[in-house]
């Protein structure tokens, strides 16, 4: 299950994490975010320990959304060893997420 992170835990859970971390910036009121959630669960199960999934609710952690220039939700930001490598926006397919991780 994806780990809910906030501005206090973001650094330790994402920026200091080894390997690939997918940060899902979402909102509870966002319909595309709700559609993406089960897709992310499938991705998480399929990848096992190849990548870590974290969720950031922009309503509670707007400063993180600002810091990473998240203009719309859902936005997935891919980090590797604390560095932003790429991002996907909108409702994306499972295959797109897997493909992005394989590139990393």
Residue ranges of alpha helices (H) inside the chain are: 10, 31-47, 62-67, 94-103
- Write out the residue range of the structural domain in which residue 80 sits: 3-95
Residue at 103 is within a domain: no
CATH number of 21's domain? 3.40.30.10
Catalytic residue among 33, 40, 88, 97: 33
Confidence of residue 1 (pLDDT cuts 50, 70, 90): confident
pLDDT at residue number 25: 98
Contact 54, 14 (CB under 8 A): yes
Residue at 101 is within a domain: no
How far apart CA 88 and CA 25 sit, in angstroms, is 11
> Domain total for the chain?
1
Tens digits of residue pLDDT in 12-34: 999 999 999 999 999 999 999 99
Catalytic residue among 14, 22, 23, 30: 30
33 labelled catalytic? yes
pLDDT at residue number 35: 95
Tens digits of residue pLDDT in 28-77: 999 999 999 999 999 999 988 889 999 999 999 999 999 999 999 999 99
Mean local confidence (pLDDT), 85-95: 95
19 labelled catalytic? no
């Amino acid at each position: 299950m994806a780990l809910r992170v906030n501005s206090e835990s973001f650094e330790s859970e994402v920026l200091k994490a080894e390997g690939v971390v997918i940060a899902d910036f979402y909102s509870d009121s966002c319909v595309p975010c709700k559609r993406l959630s089960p897709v992310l669960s499938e991705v998480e199960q399929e990848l096992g320990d190849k990548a870590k999934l974290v969720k950031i609710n922009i309503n509670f952690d707007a400063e993180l959304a600002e810091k990473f220039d998240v203009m719309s939700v859902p936005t997935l930001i891919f980090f590797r060893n604390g560095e932003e490598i790429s991002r996907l926006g909108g409702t994306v397919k499972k295959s797109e997420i897997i493909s992005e991780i394989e590139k990393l």
